[in-house]
Amino acid sequence: MALKRKDILGLEEITREEIELILQTALSMKEILSRPIKKVPALRGRSIVTLFYEPSTRTRTSFEIAAKIMSADTSSIAPSTSSVVKGESLKDTILTLRAMRPDVFVIRHQASGAPHFVASLIPESVINAGDGMHEHPTQGLLDMMTILEKKGKLEGLTVAIVGDILHSRVARSNMWGLTKMGAKVRFVGPKTLIPPEADRLPVEVYTNIEEGLKDVDVINVLRIQLERMKKGLFPSLREYTHFFGITKKRLKLAKDDVIVLHPGPMNRGVEIMPDVADCEISMVTTQVTNGVAVRMALLYLLLGGTGDALAS
């Protein structure tokens, strides 16, 4: 089976079969990361542009490393040092870059839907690296890969996503991906940080952490953005930590073999305690490694042809 789409814009529109293909390919790609020579010639001569309108360490680096391992060339555009500061629109920036003949655009933008707009403009592939509060599909895929590796399955698991769900594109991508794969998803957080449309989404909502963590297989902890406190969505960081911080004691509410995920960067001592972040069930660094494998898989599947070659 081949990926039948030009772009990866979100997990809401992707099929279960496509997710399975991506995860299976990513699991195969991961072996390359353990080799002494981390280089395969698969995408030699292909060109990838990363265009990040928001700060990023791990996602941008992960895409660049993934592309380089696959022998593709990468160009990183930072809007702060580009013609964007002179007032160039997103459309003109894309059309200018497109004239340089890249094969894939990887875009992060503060506006939800920006990658979709770009994908509608050009025939080249577009990968959404995070758009506003909408989706972050590659994070969702790497989270699913991490769970699949540790648990051996996704079907039937219960995953609690804890924290600022309202503003989280990671939570939305996780929700769409995990529920498609047969997992149950819980949103756990203060009422002010739960999306108002949550009752129309395929999730269970918990505003009490003890109830929300009961018997879950996976806890996915979201970063609390400090500016949310200033907007009055919760009174103080201390209070948030008291009611929703993931502590060793609270882990006991979940299943014995629970694992903890965090998309990073972590606020240690706020949404996750340092002893949880650093314990053996914390998957934070595994997630980062799996992020490279997932992005290698996506670049390969988007840039490859279709059909199986005859044995030669």
Residue 107 contacts residue 138 (beta carbons within 8 Å): no
Q: Between residues 87 and 305, which has the closer beta carbon with respect to another protein?
A: 305
Binding mask 70-109 for another protein (x = CB under 8 A): x---------------------------------------
Site track for another protein across 11-30, x = CB under 8 A: --------------x-xxx-
Contact 97, 51 (CB under 8 A): yes
Nearer to another protein, 147 or 301 (CB): 301
Instruction: Output the smallest distance, CB 24 to another protein, in A.
Output: 8
* Residue 156: CB atoms within 10 Å: 11
Report, in Å, the least distance between residue 237 CB and another protein: 44
18 vs 131, which CB is nearer to another protein?
A: 18
User: Which of 288, 274, 290 has the alpha carbon at shortest distance from 57?
Assistant: 288
Q: Which is nearer to another protein, 74 or 158 (CB)?
A: 74
Do residues 205 and 194 lie in contact, with contact meaning Cβ atoms separated by under 8 Å?
yes
- Please identify, using beta-carbon distances, which residue of 256 and 308 lies nearer to another protein: 308
Scan residues 274-303 and list those touching another protein (CB under 8 A): 297, 300-301, 303
DSSP string, 113-172: THHHHHHHH-SSEEEEEEETTTB-HHHHHHHHHHHHHHHS--TT-EEEEES--TT-HHHH
Nearest one of 150, 160, 129, 166 to 9, comparing CA atoms: 129
Contacts of 26 (CB under 8 A, 6+ apart): 141, 142, 145, 290, 293, 294, 296, 297
Q: Which of residues 35-64 bind another protein (CB under 8 A)?
A: 35-37, 39-43
Distances in whole angstroms, Cα of residue 60 to Cα of each of 139, 172, 225, 280: 12, 20, 20, 27
Which structure tokens are listed for 49? 């542009």
Question: Contact at 8 Å (CB) between 160 and 212?
Answer: yes
Q: How far is the CB of 153 from another protein (least distance, A)?
A: 18
How many residues sit close enough to another protein to count as binding (CB under 8 A)? 30
Q: Tokens 């997932």 identify what position?
A: 294
Which is closer to another protein, CB of 35 or CB of 252? 35
Q: 40 or 253, CB closer to another protein?
A: 40
Q: Which of residues 224-283 bind another protein (CB under 8 A)?
A: none
What's the min distance (Å) between Cβ of 3 and another protein?
8
Which residues are near another protein by CB under 8 A?
Answer: 1-2, 25, 27-29, 31-32, 35-37, 39-43, 70, 297, 300-301, 303-312
